[in-house]
Every structure is written in C-alpha cells, then in structure tokens.
Structure 1
C-alpha cells in the first residue's frame, strides 16, 4: 500500500511540473492593449497656420462651447509658448514642432533657401526623384527628404515596430509632409491646379479609393456656389476694422476687398482661391474625418497618429491682415469646424480615448497701413534695391559683377567662388555690408553669422538667430528689422521675425490623460514632441532639443 501511495505522489509531481512547464513556455499576448504601456487610441496633432496665441481669446465671446472654448476649458494650455528661432516661417514651424528640434539641426531653415552646391533655390519639400499621385501636374513631386532628423511621428512608428498608422493632411504640401515624417503611411495635400487632394510616389503608387471618391465630389465647387459672406451680420464683427480698407489685398476679379466675396466667378476655373477662404479649413477637416473612417485610425490595437494642418488661416491672414473682418470670420467658422471635428472623434473613438494638441507654425504682424492709421510703429523694408546698390559698389571696387547672389530669409548670401577668384577681402566686404545695412530705414541691426557669439545683440535675439542658422544652408549676414517692419507689400501682412507677434503661439493639449489647467512658465514649440514622447513612453526624435512640459506630464 505504501509503495502504491509513493507511486501516485510521484506521478502527481510529474504532472504538476509538466503543467507548470507548459504555462511558462506560453508566449505573451500579441495584443498591445494588454501591454504595461498605456497609450491613447489616436493622437491628433493640429497646427493652425498663422494662428497668433491671442486668437484663443480675441474672439472668445463669439466662440461656441465645443470648439476653441472646449479646448481651453477641458485642456491644458501652456500660455507662454514661443518659437525659439528666427526666421519664423511655415516649413520651419511644422518641422520644429514635430522634430522637437530647430532649423540649425533639422535643416528646414525656410520655405525655400539657396543651395550653393546646386547654385539655385531649393524648396523645403521638393524631390525630383518622385512623381505626383492623383494628378498629372508637378505638385506631387514632394517628400520629406530635406528634413535631416526624425519626427515624433517617426518615433511612434519605430516604437510600435511600424504597426502605428501615420497620416498627414494639409492644403499645403509642407504642412502635410513634414509633420507626417519620413516613415508615414501617407500624406495628402491640395493641388490648386486641379482641385484634387494628391500625394506622391514617395508614399504610394495610387490614391486609395476613399480619396479618389472624395475628389470626384469637387467640394471646392460646392463651396464656391455659396460665395463667401459673413457668418453673422457684418456690423456685429466688433474685433475688426471696417470692411473696405486700402491696406487689404483684393482677389483678382474683385473691385474691392469686401464682403460678399463672389466665389462663383471661379467655379471650375481657379482652385487657388479656395485656399484664401475659410472653406479651405472646412475641406481639410472633412478629409481628416474621412481618413479616420476609411483607415480606421485609432480603431485597432495600436496607437495611430493623424497630423492635420489648417492652412486657410494663413492665406486669409496674408491677404487681409489680422484685424480684418475676413480673419475674424475665418476663426469663427474654424471654431464651428473644430467643434464638429471633436464631436466626430468623441463618437468614433470615445471621449478621453484620443490625445489632441493644437499649436501654430508662426503668428503674424499687423499690416503697416493699419499701424500707421492707429499711430503705432511699423513699416516696410525692400531688400531688392539694397542688394542692387551693394552689388554695384562691389563691382566698382572689386570687379565682381554679382558679389551678392540673393537676399532671402533675412540673410545676405555672397558668391564665395567669385569673391575668391577676385582675391577680394571678404571680411572687408562683410564689414562694409553690415555697416551699409545698419543705415537703411527699417533695419535694427545686422550681424556676421560666423561671428554671432561676439555681437552685442540681446541674448534672446542672438539665441534665436543661432537656432535658425544651418551651416550648410544659411547665408553670411543676418539683418534684424525694426518692430512690425517686414519685407512685403503695402497690402496684407506676413511673418518671419523673432518678435512676439510672430513667435508667441498657442500650445494646448486635450483628451487622454490631460487634466484641465494652465501654466505661464515659458515653453517652446520644441517642447511639444518632447512632451508627447514622455506621455507615450517612446524615444524623442533624433534631433530633439525640447523638454517635456512637466506641468502637464506630472499632473
């Protein structure tokens, strides 16, 4: 009996051991939702092109409760967020938000720059090795190859072994391509020649069926049919100047820059015009909704990323200025579009299951005519005659026909080859140019970019110029304009300076793991990617110099 008992016990131990061994050899679940890393279903990054920080509050009395007000009330706002470099342009802003880096590192020093090796201007997203998809025009010969580092969207793809879907959408190619990053599944932008949303062979060989179907509906023509009139009675626009101002730019075919804008004139003819109306933003967010539905973004087991840039605000701002009724109406309409977009995300993914952030690539200066009208400082600067005069002086003294190749991005670029051949004293030429520039109306100062550290510029401006300087792509001399001066025309406005009206931008997070709150501590646009990396527990982009917004991440 004792022998039988011992045999039974031995069999029981063997059976238990085999069972334990079987359990220990069991593979871990492939479902990311069971992982210890908790992430949202979807991240939506939204860049509002040319949105000054004060626009969060300027029109607040007319905003709905579900748009910008919901963002501010339910979200966390870093109220004192700045662009840490100059010049402040669209491509630089989008690249720096998503790389957490600055032009000195990411290489995107402007929308365009002069390449001394190619001896021509280069567009930030140009790529002659690819072709258009969805169009027979050259508008699709674009890719992110000129951006030298990774983006937060790239890092999400890397962290999930490329299971996460990343899609970029914007009217502007650069507003879609740069945020989506190098490894994106897709980027779509608007071809103004055809009125269609397109891509490039960098991403795909043909448009997906849902984009083709969207294009067939010709939404631009549908909006043109309604013209552009104010959303509310025109005399109720209390944050704007009068409608008819000589410093606002007329659209071709219009007698005055006033409401209603007769968009029917352009149906089936000119799709460029739709970008300078609030309907450009409406179409962008509509396509974004279609992307969420068709690509099932945030509806699988891996976190996806949708990068959206609303560019119509920039086109409207450039044409009419920050104090126009057109600008006010555009933001009031965008507020309603934003509310509808939030409601769609709530219904599709569930409130609190997605992480949303909003920022801007730059702000805007007031129109000089408006400033003069109100006895405020401001004006125009034209670099063309300055370059012409300097080239004439250098030709007479050194026999160099064109010593200065161009002036762009607030920089003077010399022809180093020709200067070397002439055996001219380059240091002497730069010193003369700086002295000459300082005497020009509208210029505050000018500096040799190779001797920036030794200048007497205020540290904030010196740092901004340093962060914007890329040794391979930047010029030789940087000139700083007086407050509210810019190189442009007497109608409309632009941007590009270090000043707060161009560099103070919104930075608001809402949704997944975000508690309502505000901070007035100084932050920078480069902190956005660093914050996302901290929240998602993924690596920062490869050139990131930003720091997490700890007031948000430590809540």
Structure 2
C-alpha cells in the first residue's frame, strides 16, 4: 500500500511538472500575428542620426530599437525626387511614384495644366475646425497601401489610425480604408480630419483638443535639454546660415516661441513631436487598438524633425536637441507598448520619408563644395533663350520638384523639335553655377547619367504628373534659401534613411546588404500573411531565425 501511494504521488508530481512546462512553452509561442503594428516615420531623418547622437540617447529609445531589433544599415530611397508626400506614399505602398502617382508634395497635372496638392480633395470638407485645411483625402494615391491590405485580409474587422502634424504624413500612410487619419490645424491648435473619414470628431479627440496641449507646450519656451556646452556633436549656436523662428532676431537658444501664432511655431520645435506622441498614445487607448483579436495598425509620422531641419540644418544644436527629445518620446511609446501588450505582441518599424543635404553655408565654411542654386535666374535665362530661338517665352508653364513643365500645345503649334528644345534649355541652365545637366524625362535611357541614377529618375517619373525636363544639380547644390537646408535630389545624402524593425518575430540583427524603401510594405505583407499592396515592387527582407 505504501509503495502504491508513492507511485501515485510520483505520477501526480510528474503530471503537474509536465503541465507547468507545457503552459510555459505555450506562453512563449509566438502569436500568428501581432496585436498591433506601429509604423513610425521620422520626417527628414538621415541614417547617420542613429549614430551621431548615439552616446546621448537613452537606453530605451532609438538604442533599444537598434539593440533588440533588425537594423537595415544600407536602406535607400529608390527614386528621385525625394520629398515628404512621395516618401510616405512609397513607405506604405511598397512602390515608387512612377506607379503610385504621388510624384511630389505638389505637381502640375499634365492634361489640364492645373497645379495639384498631393492630398487635396474638393469633394470633402473639414471636420474639427472651420476653413479648408481639411479638404483632404487619399484620392490622388493610385495604389493600395499595406494598411489597406491588412484590413482587407481581416474582412475589415481591424482598425487603422494614422497621425501626423502634416496632412500628407497622416493621409497617405492611412491609405484608402483608414478608420481615421488625423492631422494638426495650427489656427486653433486642434487635431482635425475630413468627411472622407467621418462626419464629426470622436469624443476622445474633442476632449484632447479641449486640453489645449499645444498652447501649454509653447508657453514653456524652448531651451536645451542639457547644458548647451555639452552639445559637442553640433556647430556653434549662432551661425549666419541658420534660419530664425518668427519674431526672433537671432537663431539662438533659448527660443521664446512668441511669434504671431505660437500654435504654428510648435511645428518647428520638439514639442510638435511630443504632442504627436501624446495624441498617438491616446489613440491606442481610446480606439482600443490591439484589443479586438485582430491586428490593428497605428501609423505615426513625426514631422517636427523636418521643420527644425529645414530651418537650422543638420549641424545645429536645435536639431540635436530635437532628436534627444524625440528619443525620449520613442522610449515612452515603447514603454507604453510593453505595459499594454508585451514586446512579442507588437511589431514596430521606424524609417524616414527622405533624408537631407548639409547647409551649403556650413560646407563652404569648412572649404567643402556646395551652394544654393539661383533657380529664378536660371528660369529667366531659359525663357529668354526660348524667346530668342523659338519666338516665345511662354513654353515653360510650370516648375515643380526640380522639373520644368512644357506647354505641349504651344510646342506643337510652333512645330518645335523636342531635341532642339532640350538643347536650348540645357545651354541656358548651364550658364548658372551648380548645374550638372538637364534630363529629358521621356528619354532618360539615352541621357549621360550613370545607370543607378537613371533608375532613380525613371522610378520617380510619372508621365501624367511629372515635368518634361529634370534639373540635376551638382552634389550638395540645391534650390532654396541662403539659410537652412532642403532635400529632393538623387544623391545618397537625400536617399539614405534608417530602417529598424522591432518586436514580434524580430531578433537582434544588423543587415548591411542594400534594402530599398519599397521593401518595407512587401516585407510586412509577408510577415503578416496578407497580400502586398497593389503596386508593390519590393523584396522580402531576410530576418534571423
């Protein structure tokens, strides 16, 4: 009897031990899909910013994504020109402007000659404020997005919410089927949307707007997060090629943020990122994202890095401070996701919509090449040459995205040979310092460009929306002002951006082989088990098993 009792006790202990082990293993089993995908686009973030400020980042923001995730170290845009709208569209469609149609922030419609803003839509109206800042939708986007495809794959039981200060930074990532895309209206400091998505703002958005967070942020003013003499990765704080915020006499700290409309100035401070983060976390909570047994998607774009970068440039203390504060915002997001879901139930990716050039004035101060192209002078020179050669200075009807739009009907009427037209424009522009060449967009294959650049131009060209001739400047030359910087070229300083994946299914890995921005949505579709977007051309990025 005693022996029988001992055997029985042994069986019970073994069964309990097996059950515990089975339960533990079950809890470690990776879910088929994550509860939530969070896409983060940092506007104008160059790849090197991951490392330039690395020693000053916390352990829980950018460094955590790099330490615990997949770091695609040679990730580039595969088209030109590189601008915000085209970048956001390309990240989420897995294709290029030649296919998805968003060739720039603005363009001239070739058929009508009308200037078009990327997300304009006169058939919808503003929700959340008065005025036309909400006359927006994704109707100009020709393809589906990964956010669309994920909803389709779940029979629209899941949710997509997209958020950015810029309308284009929210609308294009949200795709055609977003439950809500929200952007910031600076007239009253509110988050708004359009009737494309809903008839009135959800109560939680109205309550958030009523808190007047934007005004509270700007009232703090903007001083450096740390003592200013510790910003050794940046140039000194008062340089002639830095821009100034409204109502300020010098581009120096502390910034009072007391311009004519402080609610607009917030865009050009780190607080624009912080209020975006606040709104994004509130959206997860109130929309109950990741809590409905489906895979939801939150698309967030941090726009203030672009505003600050344009005004002050990559070597400014303002930009360094903005990234140090953004690192804290990202750390807060990751911490929130940990508490709500756990790392293995959330998939996060981070990239940028384009990178940026150095400020020419800064380069020149260091005896390096670069400059600001005199675009107006060049255009005047070209029109004068066209008048002399063909008897008309009306042949050029528009200039967008470093491209010239030609009046095709006038060319036909005057029986002008396109090759001759190209030669006259090239000769005129070549008189202006900084010009490299003029490319006939209909004959890129026969241009003098090296093949990699031919591919970039071809991928960015859409005959319905692009210009006839592209103005290619020399490296580190751009069309802009004497202060600050910009982007849009085909050079690596504009195309090389971060790409980090973190969380569900992702193990620590550094990938040095080339990836393109088109690979993001294609990879997400593969991992999530849904169809890739309708125009997708990307490849699946390999991950460590």
SS in 1 for 2:172: helix
1:303 to 295, 302, 307: 295
2:183 to 189, 192, 212: 189
CA contact (8 A) 2:189 2:212 kept: yes
Instruction: Please give the alpha-carbon distance, in whole angstroms, between the structure 2 residues aligned to 1:459 and 1:250.
Output: 40
Is residue 273 from structure 1 mapped to residue 265 from structure 2 by the alignment?
Answer: yes
Is residue 488 from structure 1 mapped to residue 480 from structure 2 by the alignment?
Answer: yes
Query: Partner residue of 2:372?
Result: 380
TM-superposed deviation, 1:384: 1.8
TM-superposed deviation, 1:429: 1.4
Instruction: Please give the alpha-carbon distance, in whole angstroms, between the structure 2 residues aligned to 1:539 and 1:256.
Output: 52
Is residue 60 from structure 1 mapped to residue 54 from structure 2 by the alignment?
Answer: yes
> What is the aligned residue count?
517
Instruction: Please give the alpha-carbon distance, in whole angstroms, between the structure 1 residues aligned to 2:31 and 2:350.
Output: 24
TM-superposed deviation, 1:260: 0.5
Larger radius of gyration: 1
Pairs within 5 Å for 1:13-162 = 38-162=32-156
2:497 to 496, 505, 523: 505
Instruction: Please give the alpha-carbon distance, in whole angstroms, between the structure 1 residues aligned to 2:421 and 2:516.
Output: 36
Pairs within 5 Å for 1:232-247 = 232-247=226-241
CA contact (8 A) 2:386 2:424 kept: no
Instruction: Please give the alpha-carbon distance, in whole angstroms, between the structure 2 residues aligned to 1:448 and 1:498.
Output: 16
Instruction: Please give the alpha-carbon distance, in whole angstroms, between the structure 1 residues aligned to 2:401 and 2:491.
Output: 15
TM-superposed deviation, 1:464: 0.2
Structure 2 gap segments, 5+ residues each: 1-29
CA contact (8 A) 2:247 2:258 kept: no
Deviations 1:510-539 (A, max 9, x none): 000100011100000110001101100110
CA contact (8 A) 1:168 1:177 kept: yes
TM-superposed deviation, 1:446: 1.8
Question: TM-score when scaled to structure 1?
Answer: 0.91
SS in 2 for 1:528: helix
2:254 to 257, 260, 272: 260
Question: TM-score when scaled to structure 2?
Answer: 0.93
Query: Partner residue of 1:430?
Result: 422
Instruction: Please give the alpha-carbon distance, in whole angstroms, between the structure 2 residues aligned to 1:187 and 1:74.
Output: 30
Is residue 454 from structure 1 mapped to residue 460 from structure 2 by the alignment?
Answer: no
Instruction: Please give the alpha-carbon distance, in whole angstroms, between the structure 2 residues aligned to 1:219 and 1:275.
Output: 13
Instruction: Please give the alpha-carbon distance, in whole angstroms, between the structure 1 residues aligned to 2:184 and 2:513.
Output: 37
CA contact (8 A) 2:80 2:456 kept: yes
CA contact (8 A) 1:99 1:526 kept: yes
CA contact (8 A) 2:165 2:302 kept: yes
Is residue 175 from structure 1 mapped to residue 169 from structure 2 by the alignment?
Answer: yes
Is residue 420 from structure 1 mapped to residue 418 from structure 2 by the alignment?
Answer: no
Instruction: Please give the alpha-carbon distance, in whole angstroms, between the structure 2 residues aligned to 1:494 and 1:344.
Output: 34
Deviations 1:32-51 (A, max 9, x none): xxxx9810000000000000
Structure 1 gap segments, 5+ residues each: 1-35
CA contact (8 A) 1:150 1:542 kept: yes
Query: Partner residue of 1:348?
Result: 340
Query: Partner residue of 1:392?
Result: 384
Instruction: Please give the alpha-carbon distance, in whole angstroms, between the structure 2 residues aligned to 1:86 and 1:382.
Output: 21
Deviations 1:12-71 (A, max 9, x none): xxxxxxxxxxxxxxxxxxxxxxxx981000000000000000111110111000001101
Query: Partner residue of 2:517?
Result: 525
TM-superposed deviation, 1:424: 3.0
Instruction: Please give the alpha-carbon distance, in whole angstroms, between the structure 1 residues aligned to 2:374 and 2:115.
Output: 19
Instruction: Please give the alpha-carbon distance, in whole angstroms, between the structure 2 residues aligned to 1:487 and 1:401.
Output: 22
CA contact (8 A) 1:100 1:544 kept: yes
CA contact (8 A) 2:313 2:485 kept: yes
TM-superposed deviation, 1:265: 5.1
TM-superposed deviation, 1:417: 1.2
